[in-house]
Amino acid sequence: MALNLDARQRAMLAEMQVRVWSPVMAPQPAQPAQPAQPAPEVKTAPLAHEPTPVDAPVASFTPRVLVPVPPTDQASALAGAPVRSQIERPEGLQQMDWASLQDAVNNCQACSLCSTRHHTVFGAGAPAPKDQVPQVDWLIVGDPPGEHEDLQGQPYVGPAGELLDNMLRACGVARAVPGGPEGGGVYITHVLKCRPPGNRNPKPQELAQCEPYLQRQVALLKPKIILAMGRFAAQALLQHTVPGIDSTPLGKLRGQVHSHQGVPVVVTYHPDYVLRNLPEKAKVWADLCLAMAQLRARA
């Protein structure tokens, strides 16, 4: 029999440490779920795509006019401005003297190479009085300057320059020896006056911008022989006289005498190429012998 105790009685028995047994209450059966009541119907206005009653007034449609918004000043500048402003070569270049030509090269900004160079490489060779054209027999034109030339502002320095100096000594000339009435003297320059970044191949527009500088150097130096060392040097000097020069291998331009401004031109390999292919030294020596034979014929 279970005791029917209220809360107060249970508390008094608990204080006396008397345990009271209570039967376990059986769980109450679950009440059946009530069906969900449907949501009240809400009347809404017809959507735009629903048909409009015949008797309802129809609002007139006014088309939207798109007004062009003028661009900002910054956007206009970016859209119309070139990637980099370039300064054209100075006028009258073909009448410049030696000093003016050198200043024009040093300050040239006619292509993007001016923003990556350390120094321009005008050229060097036989010593001459200040602002005077060196007296030379040999003009050596090489491919674009490399890292050493760019850092020092001098043509053919480093291993390639050492090899070229050895070649010239074998021909009886040197870049530091002055020329004179009896001949001798050498001047060395590059087809480009600035180094392409990473020694990449020059772009056609870069060669075109530098071509007048080289043309004026040839006209002022009046050499007796021109030695073109490398593919780009040969193309720059012979582009107007040799058809298909851009696709002609350098090896097919060797072993013969070409002409530039009435000056004999002999084509040979670049010293950097020879350093990577030492057996080609024999071919370069043959080209130098051909150049020396031309000099003797013009003496």
Instruction: Quickly tell me which residue has 């040097």 as its tokens.
Output: 233
pLDDT value, residue 69: 38
Q: Which residues contact 96 (CB under 8 A, 6 or more apart)?
A: 90, 104, 216
pLDDT value, residue 116: 87
* DSSP β-ladder status, 124-125 and 186-190: antiparallel
pLDDT value, residue 33: 52
pLDDT tens by residue, 177-234: 877 666 679 999 999 999 999 889 999 999 999 999 999 999 999 999 999 999 999 9
Question: How far is it, in rounded angstroms, from Cα 59 to Cα 47?
Answer: 15
Spans of all domains in the chain: 94-298
Question: How far is it, in rounded angstroms, from Cα 192 to Cα 189?
Answer: 8
pLDDT value, residue 176: 84
pLDDT tens by residue, 64-84: 343 443 443 433 333 333 334
Whether the per-residue pLDDT at 50 is higher than 80: the answer is: no
pLDDT tens by residue, 153-185: 999 998 999 999 999 999 989 888 877 666 679
Burial class (CB in 10 A: 0-12, 13-18, 19+), 32: exposed
Paired tokens of 239: 């582009």
Number of Cβ within a 10 Å radius of residue 154? 19
8 Å CB contact between 155 and 167 = no
Task: Band the pLDDT of 54: cuts 50, 70, 90.
Answer: very low
Question: How far is it, in rounded angstroms, from Cα 46 to Cα 158?
Answer: 87
CA-based angle 91:95:101, to the nearest 5?
Answer: 75
What one-letter code names the amino acid at 247?
Answer: S
User: What is 94-298's CATH number, 3.40.50.150, 2.60.40.180, 1.10.3720.10, 3.40.470.10?
Assistant: 3.40.470.10
8 Å CB contact between 297 and 266 = no
pLDDT value, residue 45: 45
Q: What are the strands of the beta sheet with 257-260, ordered from one edge?
A: 124-125, 186-190, 138-142, 225-229, 263-268, 257-260
8 Å CB contact between 101 and 217 = yes
Task: Band the pLDDT of 52: cuts 50, 70, 90.
Answer: very low
